[in-house]
Amino acid sequence: MLDAITALSRGTRLVYQKGLRRYIFLPILVNIIVYAAMFSFVITRFSGWIDHWMTLVPAWLDWLSWLIWPLFVVSLIVIVFFTFTLITSFIAAPFYGFLAAKVEIQETGRIPLDDRGLTKTALDALGRELVKLAYIAPRAIALFIISWIPGLNLFAPILWGLFSAWVMAITYLDYPMDNNKVSFKDMRQRLSRRWWQSLSYGGLVTLVTWIPLANLFLIPGAVAGAVLMWDQYYRTANELTIQRPS
């Protein structure tokens, strides 16, 4: 059976093979530009953010400063990389959609059900990213608020880790599902039914995004790996729907 590590490693090898390399150059360029801009912005402000957060800790919790400070640091790092991934995914979504379609044809012999033209596919991909953002943003804001509440913020890094894994599953496994006309709601239901495969793959991709520089070249592999996961675990429900008489 296909697992998350195998899917990602196979996917990474695939996208650098002849025939698929052309579809990853622009996404990698986008990742490099966004990464450089965010890295420069965060480095100049990181220390100030932490100092400001620590001034908000109530006096009666001063004795826990040794624990609260590293929790703030971890939470901020998770938020930064989480934001980086969302931004790059939004900008590169049309390219990743094309890449997912080419991988599906090459590796499964199946043509995606999507019959939209090139332009409409690109525009719809951006629209789909906005739908994802509308789903993710309020939950991320709720977690951000929890990160500031004394006591509850002790659990913030764990909650952010689980949430990041779920978001990465949604972000990458949605590319092949969108190509096969699976609605956003249906996509989330399929991911929930296969929660272990979804969270394990999303968690692995989350770890990949935390590897400086290497993540720029591994993210396209995560798109290809998601196609392999889609074909192995999530495709069946869609086929049953198609075969159901009208």
The whole model's pTM is what?
0.76
Across 91-101, average pLDDT = 84
- Domain residue extents for the chain: 4-237
Distance CA 31, CA 34 (A): 5
Is residue 117 pLDDT above 60, yes or no? no
Q: pLDDT per residue over 25-48, tens digit each?
A: 877 887 788 778 877 877 777 777
Is residue 238 pLDDT above 50, yes or no? no
Q: pLDDT per residue over 119-160, tens digit each?
A: 566 667 778 888 998 999 899 889 888 877 777 777 888 888
Q: What is the mean pLDDT of the chain?
A: 81
CA distances from 218 to 121, 137, 159, 176 (A): 24, 25, 25, 18
In this structure, the number of other CB atoms found within 10 A of the CB of residue 124 comes to: 16
Helix or strand run (H / E) with residue 210: none
Residue with tokens 């009208």: 246
Q: pLDDT per residue over 43-60, tens digit each?
A: 777 777 667 666 766 666
pLDDT at position 217 is 84
Q: What is the share, in percent, of the chain residues with pLDDT greater than 70? A: 78
Is residue 175 pLDDT above 60, yes or no? yes
pLDDT at position 241 is 40
Is residue 83 pLDDT above 80, yes or no? no
Per the CB < 8 A criterion, the answer to whether 231 and 108 are in contact is yes
Q: What b/e readout covers 132-151, taking b as 16+ CB neighbours within 10 angstroms?
A: beeebeeebeebeebbeeee
